[in-house]
Each structure stands twice: as C-alpha cells, then as structure tokens.
Structure 1
Amino acid sequence: MNKYVKYGLLVVVALGAFYAIARVLKTNSKPAELYETEKPSKQTIVNRVVATGKVIPKEEVDIKPQISGIIDKIYLEEGAKVNAGDLIAVIKVVPNEQSLNQAQGRVRNAEIALGNAEIEYNRNKTLFDRGVISNQQFNDIQTTYEQAKQEVENARADYQIIRRGSAGGSSSANTNIRATVTGTILEIPVEEGDQVIQSNNFNDGTTIATIADLGQMIFEGQVDEAEVGKLEIGMPLKITLGAIQDQEFEADLQFIAPKGVEEEGAVQFRIEGSVSLDSAHFIRAGYSANASLVLSQKDSVLAVKEAWLQFDNETEKPYVEVKTGENEYERRDIETGISDGIFVEVLSGVTEEDEIKIWNKTEPMSSDES
C-alpha cells in the first residue's frame, strides 16, 4: 500500500477520534438536567367529600290486594297523580273450590240451626204468654233465636265474599284496589289478566302499584369508611344531578348508617339527606346524583401544588427543593395544612418569593445533541 494512503487513513482516524472526544467533553460540560420552577400562590382550598348515589322519594307505598284473583281492569297509568281513595284497578275473584264448599256448608248448617231455634222460640213464646215459664227462661230462648238469625247472615256474607269478593256489592269491596295515599304512581308492575295474591301474615302479596310523593325527595348515597368519621348529622350537602346540568340543590345530612357494607374490597356506609326542591325543575325518582360535603375550607392561604412535594424516606415528612442559583437547589422541609387534591396549604417552610423545582420538567435535547 502506498505510504501516502496510509498517512491519509491515519489522519482521518485521528480527526474522528478528536471529534468524538470533543463532543463528549461538550456534553459533560452542560448541566445534567434543567428544571422549571414556580412560586407558591394564594389559593382558596376546600376539603370536601363526594358521595355517589341517587335521588329517591322519601316514602314509597306499595298497594297490595286484600284478596287473590285476576286483574280485571286497570284504570290509571304510571305517572298519574292520585288522591287517597282513587280507584286504580279491579280484581275478578277466582274462588277456591274447597273454601267455597266450606262456606256453602256453613250457610246450610246455620240455616238448620236457625230452623230449630225458631221452632223452640215459637213453642216457648206460647208458654210464656200463658205464664207457664219465667221471663228469664224466655229471654234466654229468645237470645238463642236471634243469635241463630245473625249466624245465618254472617255465613251468607262470608259465602258472597269468597264467591265474588264482596258482600252485597259494597263500595269498599276487596276487589276494588284504591290508592291509600296522595302522590304519583311510580310503577304498575302488573297487567290486565295477571293473577295476584292477597297480602296476609304469610305472604307480602302482589304489588299492584307503587305510589310516592315526588315533592319530598332524599339523596341516598355511599361514602368510604375513610371519610365517614368526618361526617356529622346536619352538615349541608350540594346535590348535582346527572339529568340536570349546571344546577345544584341544597340538602341536609340526616342519616349515617351505623353499619358498613363491603363492596369490591372497600367498606361503604349509606348516607341520606333531605333535598330542597324548587318548582322550576321536575325531579324524577331514581336520578343519579352526587353529593358534595364540605369538611373544611380556607380562603387566600399560601399553597403549592401537591405534585411538587417530595417525602423523606425515613420520616415520610414532606419537603420541596427551592432554587438557590443556576441549576442549584436546596431542600426545604415544610409543614402542610388542608388539601383539595391539587393544592395543599403551606404553613411554614417557604415564602411567596421562593422558586420551587417542578419535577419531570427537563429541558429537551436539541437535534444536534441527539
């Protein structure tokens, strides 16, 4: 190989090595990291708890039949406003064959007993009129006769109730399903032709309709066990509804459950609050809602963002890094107050003039350094 070619290759290699060394020195001479800084500011900090839930009527009344049968006619629809006593539906009675036979037998027995009592009464009345028996004896026989007549009436009435659902077509017949309270019909879960079961000591019975007063609503929600200890009865609530945007309703906390329920590994406690409604909005039962409870509030206090905080590995106490020069920072231990999750109150450690390091805000590398 020509010696001039060798010398040329050596020069090229030497220049390349020199350029690489110069670039490394230039990179090492720059600051390792450059951070942005911000100063503390005055903030209004509100520490609040948000409970999720729904708005429901304060009281719901289930209307149930007093006799079993089949829905013959439904007169009202869901959403209708009713007064106590309004007719909702009528039931057609389907009598039980055994009960019907027993009622018929009771009527027959009562009629036989009445016949015997009548014969005895007529015979003794003649003797009483002649003065053969005493007044006391006749009174006892007369009482027995009157009781026999009453027993026949009772047996016949019971037979009619079992057969038709009422005795003598009374306006308060068990077949007439009427509203027991004033309000709005929320639900009618049955249809004409459905079979229903009467309410008794052993069965709740079939619900014909559910009625509630939509003018008296409550918020029902849940809060985590970590927050429930901070709540007190009477605390004000701010209710926001998913169906009504940009509108808040006032409420008062009225109930905190004494027992929690575990849901997805967290213990939740039920709370209730009475909601103050206005005439401008119609609130439907079951609207999803959030309730905001203010635990504490401080106005115009010195605060920093929680993202700026660091914590000591041993003491776990908070501190920040304050700028003292070009890319130079010193640690400052601080004492914190209330927090809203974004800003935290600073009681001591920094002033409004201090520039605090913002983590993860480095200067981007230029294209010739990449």
Structure 2
Amino acid sequence: MKKKIIFGTIIIALIAVLVWLGKKNSKSPIEYETEKPFKTNIVRKTVATGKVIPLEEVEIKPQITGIIEKIFVEEGQKLKKGDLIAKVRVIPNEQALASARGRVSKAELAVNNASIVYKRNKKLYDNGVISQKDFDEFKLNYDQSRQDLINAQNDYQIIQKGYTGKGGSANTNIRATATGMILEIPVKEGYQVIQSNNFNAGTTIASIADMSKMIFEGKVDEAEVGKLEEGIDIEVGLGAIEKKKFPAKLNFIAPKGTEENGAVQFKIKADVVLDEEYFVRAGYSANADIVLEKKDSVMSIKESLIQFDKKTEVPYVEIKTGDQEFERKDVELGISDGINVEVISGVSEDDEIKIWNKTKKDGEEGNE
C-alpha cells in the first residue's frame, strides 16, 4: 500500500513538473516593452554652415605707382572717411619721364617763337600797319603756346613726383574712402604698389569695413533650398562664441547653385543682429539654424519605433493585442525632427506600441 502511495506521489510530481515546463516554454523568451503615442511640438530644422562677414568691405588702392614710404595706421584701428592711411613715394618711369621732358622742351621752343612773332606784330599793330583782327590771332597763338608749356610742365611734374605744384601731394597720400575699422593691411613700408586703372585692379593697401553691420553667408543643400523664403528669421551660432545665438533675417537666396563634392549647394545671406556685449570679428565660422517646418501639439511617437516593409518600404508599427502578442499596423507619417515623428493615421493615443530596441529577458533588460 505504501509503495502505491509513494509511486502515485512521484507520478503526480512528475506531471506537475511537465505542466510547469510546458507553460514556461509556451511563453516568449523575450518580453517586449511598449510605449504609447504622445502629443508634442515638432520642429524640422536644417543647419547651414558658413561665416560672418561685414556687409560692405572697401579696398583702398593707390592712384599712382610707387613705393610705400610710410604707413600711419594699424589693423584694428577705427578710421573716419578722409583719414590718412599711407604715403607713396613715386618711382618715375624713365621712358615716360624722358618723353615728358621732351614735350616741355618742345613747348618752350613754341613759346619762344610765338613770343617773337607776337612782339614783332605788336609793333606793327601799334604803328597801324596791321588790323586788330590780324593782331588778335598772333596774340591767341602766343597765349595758347604758353598754356601748352604749363600743361607739359604739369605732366612732367606728375610723372616725376606724382603731383603738381597746385595739387600738393594729393595722389601720394592714400586716404580712407569710407568710415570703419582697418581689417587688413597686406603691404609694408618699402613694398611696391601699382595704381588702379581700367586695365589693372591695382595693389590693395588696406581694407576697411563697418563692423557694426555683419551678415551671415553660408550654403544649403538643393533638397532644402526650396523650403526657404526670404525674410524668415534664423539663428546664427559662432564657433568662437559659445552658448550664444545671434538672431538674423534671411535676405538672399542664390538663384543658381554650385556643385560641391557631388551635391548642389545654394548660397544664402542673412542680416545678423549683433549684441554689444560681444565683439564679432570678420570671418568667424558660423552655423545657421533654419526652421523648415513646424507643427504644434501633434500626435507623435519615437522614430525608433518605426519599421519599414522590406518589399514595399511602407512604414509600420506593432500594436499590443495581448500578453506579449502584437499586431502589425501600417502608419502614415508627417514631419520628423530626427527623434520624434508625427503620426497622421494608423494608431490612436491608447495604443501600446512595441519597443523594438528595448526588451526584457528573464527579468533583465537587454537588446534584441
């Protein structure tokens, strides 16, 4: 009797173990967590890289060719229009100088000859031999020859010294043509400079800019330029000034793009509103945060919850229907900020969505 009881007990225990193992094996070895949709504001942005530069930068160039004799200013110095920047010493061209000297000699000969003719005919006029009309012609020729001599002498002096007696040293003194700050002086005393004319841009002696008027100049990709509009507000961050954003207004979008590294880029410009607390230097590298699209209080989910059909590329999520049981539902998506994405249709606020990359196994969290 006791053997039967013991044997029966063993059989019952064995059955209980088998039932327990069967129930354990029927459960998924991995338990997925879920997350519900939520409402939030989604802002889609793009970042344009570039730099901040002065709105207007003026290059000061000489009107004569020569050698820098003296520089009176330094980089970073503020100037007013008309302030003296440098002085140029003229190094005359020997051929031009010889030619000018020859013209002076020729004009002197013409004056001497006209003077002799004028004096001889004046006596004849005084004695009533020639008429007033004939005498006036001789006087006119004499006056014209004297003026030609003055012109030849002025040309000679300009070639030799760079200025005339009446003009002083106007051409040799290089002055600021605008009010602003000296950004750069690319020459030094003793450097040879070339004058600015119709055939030559000339040597830049200094560049001046108004540092209170700065703009952001950058580039955006062709995929995003169509969403931009002139007049929108953007924020500009400078690499040299941390934790500070400068407001700016977009005022230019290039009508033509340029290809760079296989992608077409479009230049943009924006007026930057400066803060007196910070001194912004020309050429600072900068990034502009541009809002392409914004929606407030829309139903959203984490972008990591979205899966895509391998064949159709249709986005979908898996909705919880029971204990570790899920059902696929296709969804229609809206804008995304890279973390959250708008869900236009496919799920409701009460749905529990399967978290793909966050699981539990035997009470411990792990990766699928």
2:331 pairs with one of 321, 330, 334: 334
Aligned to 2:124: 127
SS at match of 2:207: strand
Q: In structure 1, what is the Cα distance between the partners aligned to 2:45 and 2:140?
A: 78
Indicate conservation of the 8 Å contact 2:114/2:141, yes or no: yes
Change (3 A) 1:366 1:332: closer
Deviation, structure 1 residue 361: 2.3
For 2:324, give the aligned amino acid: N
SS at match of 1:232: coil
1:214 pairs with one of 193, 208, 211: 211
Deviation, structure 1 residue 364: 5.0
Deviation, structure 1 residue 366: 8.7
Deviation, structure 1 residue 135: 2.2
SS at match of 2:62: coil
**Structure 2: any 5+ residue segments left out of the alignment?**
1-20
Percent identity over paired residues: 62
Change (3 A) 1:340 1:171: farther
SS at match of 1:52: strand
Deviation, structure 1 residue 102: 0.7
1:85 pairs with one of 82, 86, 102: 82
Deviation, structure 1 residue 280: 2.4
Indicate conservation of the 8 Å contact 2:30/2:361, yes or no: no
Change (3 A) 1:137 1:26: farther
SS at match of 1:363: strand
Deviation, structure 1 residue 133: 2.1
SS at match of 1:222: strand
- Write the deviation string for residues 306-354 of structure 1: whole angstroms up to 9, x where unpaired: 1211123344222111112222111112222221121111122212222
2:252 pairs with one of 252, 255, 258: 255
Matched, 1:174 2:171: yes
Structure 1 residues 40-119: aligned runs within 5 Å: 40-119=37-116
For 1:159, give the aligned amino acid: Y
Change (3 A) 1:219 1:136: same
Q: In structure 2, what is the Cα distance between the partners aligned to 1:334 and 1:343?
A: 14
2:138 pairs with one of 112, 134, 141: 141
Aligned to 2:182: 185
Aligned to 1:239: 236
Q: In structure 1, what is the Cα distance between the partners aligned to 2:135 and 2:362?
A: 124
- Write the deviation string for residues 241-278 of structure 1: whole angstroms up to 9, x where unpaired: 12222222222111111111111111110001111223
- Write the deviation string for residues 279-317 of structure 1: whole angstroms up to 9, x where unpaired: 222211111111122222122221111121112334422
Change (3 A) 1:363 1:141: same
1:347 pairs with one of 344, 348, 354: 344
Q: In structure 2, what is the Cα distance between the partners aligned to 1:96 and 1:229?
A: 57
Aligned to 1:306: 303
For 2:236, give the aligned amino acid: I
Change (3 A) 1:27 1:99: farther
For 1:193, give the aligned amino acid: G
Aligned to 1:33: 30
Aligned to 2:288: 291
Q: In structure 2, what is the Cα distance between the partners aligned to 1:364 and 1:70?
A: 83
TM-score by length of 2: 0.88
Deviation, structure 1 residue 183: 0.6
Deviation, structure 1 residue 218: 0.8
- Write the deviation string for residues 135-167 of structure 1: whole angstroms up to 9, x where unpaired: 222222212111111111111111111111111
Q: In structure 1, what is the Cα distance between the partners aligned to 2:87 and 2:23?
A: 95
Q: In structure 1, what is the Cα distance between the partners aligned to 2:166 and 2:145?
A: 24
Change (3 A) 1:121 1:27: farther
Change (3 A) 1:26 1:93: farther
For 2:83, give the aligned amino acid: D
Change (3 A) 1:107 1:171: closer
Deviation, structure 1 residue 81: 0.6
Indicate conservation of the 8 Å contact 2:29/2:362, yes or no: no
- Write the deviation string for residues 87-132 of structure 1: whole angstroms up to 9, x where unpaired: 1001111111111111111111111111111111111222222232
For 1:37, give the aligned amino acid: T
Segment of structure 1 superposing worse, 83-92 or 324-333 = 324-333
TM-score by length of 1: 0.88
Aligned to 2:157: 160
Change (3 A) 1:117 1:43: same
**Structure 1: any 5+ residue segments left out of the alignment?**
1-23
